[in-house]
Amino acid sequence: MTQDSVPAYSVVPYMRKRFDRLGRKLRFGGTTPAEAQAWRRAARKKLRELIGLDTMTACPLKPRVTERVDCGDYVRERIEIQVEPLVVMPLYMLIPKTGKKSYATILCPHGHGFGAKAGISGAGGHPDIEAAFKLYNADYGRVFCRAGFVTLCPDARGFGERQERAAAGDVLNSSCNYLNHMAIPLGQTVTGMWVHDLQRLIDYAATRPECDMSRLGCAGLSGGGLQTLWLTALDERIKAAIDSGYFYGVKESLLDLYENCSCNYVPHLWEYVVHGDLGALIAPRPLMVQTGDEDPLNGASKLKNVTPQLGIARKTYKVLGAAKHLQHDVFHGQHRWDNAHTVPFMVKYLKP
């Protein structure tokens, strides 16, 4: 948002100054691995509280395989698991036909507007979904499977088969606004719901002999990048991650661009952390941040609003002796997934 575009009586300038004054109480300021470990414990505890993760209710998974489709070089299963009482998550599991019977496994959460699990898995089934995942190049669940990984492609709450009634009528719609309207007054958030559901998906993967849990990754674009960033920051069962299109300075990309989806907004979050701090919580595990150099969600400063966040995370990676494990993959283009380096990254860190 430029100075000229701010209305005369806008509150944005005040909010920007408030951000500068109050932001990032939980930034890492240590210089030793022991200090990094202590910071990680304290930060995770606070973040779990902010997103309402500890308010989620445990329950049996009650998994059901409802469909099995031969897709040529892989098999696609449709599965339902219970993530909370009365809350069921449908997903697709893609299983290669060749290779060892216990595979490196990647969770593939989706973002907004490219068809939820049907887009990520390449299942399609609707012309709008097929057009959307081609536009965003977002069938990375299928791409990783064809590279020899088992992939798990869930419908996040509010998307796909989990759309709320108010979002029905367009298969690409999300229900994030409606969910957050219900959740925040009850001490929860969409972000917390998504992290919880992915953690339950990890629990389910652990029951499947096809999934090698010592080689578990997570990768997502846009809102899938949000889910990947948060899950990997809070759950060390994820051994390597790719966050595409969701790693930038929140002041420009979410405060100035406040029209973005409500799933990005967690009460009190920016008082404590920004994206770079979440990335720091992933250290020393391998993390690829992927950025399109023309992605409008980067904000007015473009790549200059992204690289400082890498710098925040890199400080912790260096303290832990893992600087090489943090990579920035910049491609020429807008808001989409790029396959040039993502598969080699996961092969390097999960296949051996």
Of 198-202, 258-262, 299-303, the poorest mean pLDDT is in 258-262
Note the pLDDT of residue 338.
96
- Reported as a single tens digit per residue, the pLDDT across 116-142 is 999 999 998 888 888 888 889 999 999
Residue-range domain boundaries for the chain: 51-350
Phi then psi for 328, rounded to 5 degrees?
Answer: -115, 115
pLDDT at residue 95, rounded to an integer: 97
The top-level CATH class assigned to 51-350 is alpha beta
Instruction: Please answer whether residues 190 and 263 qualify as being in contact, where contact means their C-beta atoms are separated by less than 8 angstroms.
Output: yes
- What is the average pLDDT value for the chain, to the nearest integer? 95
4: pLDDT strictly greater than 70: no
Torsion of CA 236, 241, 243, 249, to 10 degrees: 50
What is the percent of the chain where pLDDT is above 90? 87
8 sits in the region (left: phi over 0; alpha: psi -120 to 50; else beta) called alpha
**What is the radius of gyration, based on Cα positions, of the chain?**
19
Interatomic CA distance for residues 109 and 57, integer angstroms: 21
Helix axis angle for 275-282 and 33-51, nearest 10°, is 120
Whether residue 329 contacts residue 290, with contact meaning beta carbons closer than 8 Å, is answered with: yes
Q: How far is CA 48 from CA 88, 148, 287, 347, in A?
A: 22, 33, 21, 31
pLDDT value of position 172: 85
Do residues 223 and 335 lie in contact, with contact meaning Cβ atoms separated by under 8 Å? no
The whole-angstrom distance between residue 126's C-alpha and the CA centroid of its chain comes to 24
pLDDT digits (tens, 9 = 90+) for 153-193: 999 999 999 988 888 888 888 899 999 999 999 999 999 99
Q: What average pLDDT does this structure show over 49-57?
A: 97
> Is pLDDT at 11 greater than 70 in this prediction?
yes
* DSSP three-state, residue 191: helix
Contact 278, 230 (CB under 8 A): yes
Q: What does the block give as tokens for 108?
A: 């593939």
The pTM is what?
Answer: 0.96
Residues 33, 319 contacting (CB under 8 angstroms): yes
* Phi/psi-derived region of residue 4, left when phi > 0, alpha when psi is between -120 and 50, beta in every other case: alpha
When comparing pLDDT for 173 and 111, which is higher? 111
| The two structure tokens encoding residue 257 | 């661009």
Average pLDDT over residues 291-308: 96
> First-to-last CA distance in the chain?
46
d(CA 225, CA 110): 8
pLDDT recorded at residue 1: 53
pLDDT at 41: 97
Closest residue by Cα to residue 297 from 337, 261, 248: 248
pLDDT greater than 80 at residue 317: yes
* pLDDT above 90 (res 306): yes
